[in-house]
Every structure is written in structure tokens, then in C-alpha cells.
Amino acid sequence: MQRRDFLKAAGIGAAATATGAALATPAIAQGITKWRMVTAWPKNLPGPGVAAQMLADRITALSGGRLEVELFAAGEVVPGPGVFDAVAEGTAEIYHAVPAYWGSKSKGILLFGSQPLGLTAIEQTGWLMQGGGQALYDEMYGRFGLKPFLCGNSGPQWFGWFRNEIKTVDDLKGLKYRTTGLNSEVCAKLGMAVEAMSGPAMFQALQSGALDAGEFIGPWSDSALGLQQVAKNYYAPGVGEPGSAEECAVNLKAWEALPDDLKQAVAYAAESLYNPVLTEYNTKHAMALRELTANHGVTVRKLPDEIVIAMGNAMGEVVKELRDSDDELVRKITESFLEYRKLMVEYMPYADAGQMNARGLDYNYG
């Protein structure tokens, strides 16, 4: 799909919500239950749009066809930012999006998506599966009538596309910058004017000058939106999102109505896609980066250490605010995340980071 098709698909907005009421009752016929999946993405957007379709197809397959999931892209039933509420209210049975979009519901939700200088993709699912995070995830989303699952991860995101080179923290002050989640709070503390918008809207804002810079995901997804056409300085690492989890959430009543074997089909479909989605991102990001630098005049730049340290300090302020929350559950989620992060910080210098450092040494490998 071409960039213009994504822009067109993403432009369908609130007018489409009028059809939601007509879709409020799931179809059940001849032992087959039909679910609607609403997503935050243009249809088949490389990365999350592709992953959403994979999830719909896998649930249908693992259920033996007894649970059919039909995907509706952003704007076809509800606009992308409305999928959380649509599923909570029963307009659709399941959505595909990212936790980073739901900070207005609770700041605690944001920790399940990505955390500046926080957990990598593998560590994130490790926290949920091995560190007690899933029970807290269930408790938080249960407040809204939802049953959540992680179902993918983009891996390390990029700090994004900048019209001009940045060298110091002062260069960030006043910059109009697109991002989401906890990274929005961190960047705002550094003096950036943070904007939340879709990827296609980000292209248009960079093109018009309404934005000075912005991040979406990484080379594969970003290049599909044509962001390399409107900015040429591409900064990494995206320490604001070291691993951005993708999620699906099911309307709790629809979930509870399923027999146990179909619950297992939904749960396993989500869990089994986490690594395939992550490895596809990593592989296709690498391929897209080669193309961007070789043929599109993109300059890859390293985010200065001064900025990384400033972001870390700003995230420390955000963490303190989360620990001091009036909401006991937010405090519990924060402490659980911090405990697991501390464990990984102790271990990973000898494991993943140690291997990466060794691989970066100068030797003749082939």
C-alpha cells in the first residue's frame, strides 16, 4: 500500500462512528461467534496494521473457525483514538492498539506500553509473564470492562525525524514534536511542545511546518508513511520507547461468554504473536534503514548523551509522580515495574548488552 492510501484511510474519522450502534451485537449462528476487531491503524500499515490482521486471522484459525474475527481499520467503525471506549462499551468485541494511547484513562496504563529508559521488548513480556505484571494489567483494565493481552512489540523505537540537527538539550526547547505515552511527559519536561497525533497526521504536520520533529515507530513503518520525504535527520536510539508493546483488549462480557477452549485460543493467539511480530519489526526495520540511507538521502544521527541523561532525569521525576499517585493500583504497578527493571539492569550488562558490546569489537568475522 502506498503512503497516500494510508493517509486516505487514516483520514476517515468521527463520521464513521455513526455506524457503531448498528454493529453492537455480536453475530452467533450455527455455533459460530463473530467478533469485530477495531484498530488504531490504517489497514495493513507496515508494522501494527499488519500485526492486527495477523492477530484476527490467528484467533479465527486457532478457534477452528468457531470464533471469526473481522478487522476494521481506524475510521471504518470508530476513529483510532476511540477503540478503547468502543470495546469497553460493547460497540466492538476486541481492539488492537498500544497502551501508550490511554494515559487519559490512567497513568498506570502507560507503564504496560513503554517506559523511557525502561524495559526492552523481551524484558516487557518478562515482567508480565514472570514478574507479576499480568495480574496488575488485568486489574487495571478490568476497571474499564476489558481483558488485556500483549500481542507484539516494535522493539527499540527511534527518537525520530528532525528538520534540523540537535546537539544539546537547549536545542530541544520549544520544538514542536510528535510522540505519545510517558515519552510525552519526559519530553515536555525538557521544554518540547509535545503533540499527539497519528502517523499519517504527523507526515502532514511535518510537511506543512506545524511540526519541527516527531517519532512514530522505526524505519519500516516510518518509511511507509513517507516521513523521509519531509525530514532527513533521523535520530537513534529512541530511549523514550526502548520497546513499545502492542496490545489487544477484549470486552470483558464478551470474554466471559466464551467457553474455556475459545478463551485459550484468544490468549494463545496473542501470546504466540509476540515474537513473530517483534522479529518482523527488527528484520524489516533493518532492511528499510538500508534503503533510507542508500537511496533517500537520510542521515542517521546518534542522540547526544547529554540529551539521554536529561531524559533519564526527567523520567525520574515522572516515576516519583507515579509513586506518589493517589491511586493505590498505580503505585502498585509502578513498584512492580521498578522492581523488575532493577533486576534486569543488574543482569543485562552480562547478557544482552555484553553480547552486543562483544559483537561491536573490531575483528574479521566474514
Classify residue 54: in a domain, yes or no.
yes
Classify residue 229: in a domain, yes or no.
no
* Range with the poorest average pLDDT among 30-34, 98-102, 303-307: 30-34
Classify residue 264: in a domain, yes or no.
yes
3-state secondary structure of 321: helix
**4 pLDDT above the threshold of 80:** no
| Segment 284-333, tens digit of pLDDT | 999 999 999 999 999 999 999 999 999 999 999 999 999 999 999 999 99
Query: In whole angstroms, what is the distance from residue 255 CA to residue 271 CA?
Result: 16
Residue 56 sits in a domain whose CATH number is 3.40.190.170
Specify whether the CB–CB gap between 115 and 314 falls below 8 A. no
Residue type, 301: R
**14 pLDDT above the threshold of 90:** no
Identify the pLDDT of residue 29: 56
Classify residue 200: in a domain, yes or no.
no
Query: In whole angstroms, what is the distance from residue 141 CA to residue 269 CA?
Result: 19
**221 pLDDT above the threshold of 90:** yes
Closest CA to 184 of 128, 104, 125: 104
Strands 32-39 and 67-72: parallel
Residue 184 binned pLDDT confidence (cut-offs 50, 70, 90): very high
Specify whether the CB–CB gap between 55 and 248 falls below 8 A. yes
Specify whether the CB–CB gap between 115 and 315 falls below 8 A. yes
Residue 26 binned pLDDT confidence (cut-offs 50, 70, 90): low
Residue 27 binned pLDDT confidence (cut-offs 50, 70, 90): low
**75 pLDDT above the threshold of 90:** yes
Closest CA to 45 of 246, 251, 272: 246
| Segment 227-284, tens digit of pLDDT | 999 999 999 999 999 999 999 999 999 999 999 999 999 999 999 999 999 999 999 9
Specify whether the CB–CB gap between 307 and 168 falls below 8 A. yes
Provide the number of structural domains found in the chain.
1
C-alpha 68, offset from chain centre:
25
C-alpha 61, offset from chain centre:
25
Half-sphere exposure of 113 (CA within 13 A, CB side): 23
**65 pLDDT above the threshold of 70:** yes
Identify the pLDDT of residue 269: 98
The conformation of residue 250, written as its DSSP 8-state character, comes to E
Residue 31 binned pLDDT confidence (cut-offs 50, 70, 90): confident
Counting residues of the chain whose pLDDT is more than 90, the rounded percentage is 91
186-223 in b/e form (b: 16+ CB < 10 A) is bbebbebebbbbbbbbbbbbbeeeebbbbbbbbbbbbb
The conformation of residue 179, written as its DSSP 8-state character, comes to -
**48 pLDDT above the threshold of 80:** yes
**20 pLDDT above the threshold of 80:** no
Tell me what the pLDDT averaged over the chain comes to.
93
Contacts 24+ apart (CB under 8 A), 186-194: 186/116, 186/240, 186/311, 186/314, 186/315, 186/318, 187/240, 187/311, 187/314, 189/314, 189/317, 189/318, 190/307, 190/310, 190/311, 190/314
Identify the pLDDT of residue 11: 40
Range of the domain at 105: 3-155+242-283
Query: In whole angstroms, what is the distance from residue 48 CA to residue 42 CA?
Result: 9
- 95 DSSP β-pair partners: 38, 249
Identify the pLDDT of residue 311: 98
- CA distances, 185 to each of 168, 188, 315 (Å): 19, 5, 8
Classify residue 160: in a domain, yes or no.
no
**30 pLDDT above the threshold of 90:** no
Query: In whole angstroms, what is the distance from residue 81 CA to residue 85 CA?
Result: 9
Identify the pLDDT of residue 330: 98
**1 pLDDT above the threshold of 50:** no
Please, which residues have CB within 8 angstroms of residue 123's CB and are 6 or more apart in sequence?
243, 340, 341, 344, 348
- 247 DSSP β-pair partners: 97, 150
Q: Where are the alpha helices (DSSP H) in 211-349?
A: 219-224, 252-257, 260-295, 305-323, 328-347
Classify residue 209: in a domain, yes or no.
no
- Tell me if the pTM is above 0.85: yes
Closest CA to 186 of 303, 98, 317: 317
Whether the upstream peptide bond of residue 237 has omega within 30° of 0, thus cis, is: yes
Classify residue 110: in a domain, yes or no.
yes
Classify residue 233: in a domain, yes or no.
no
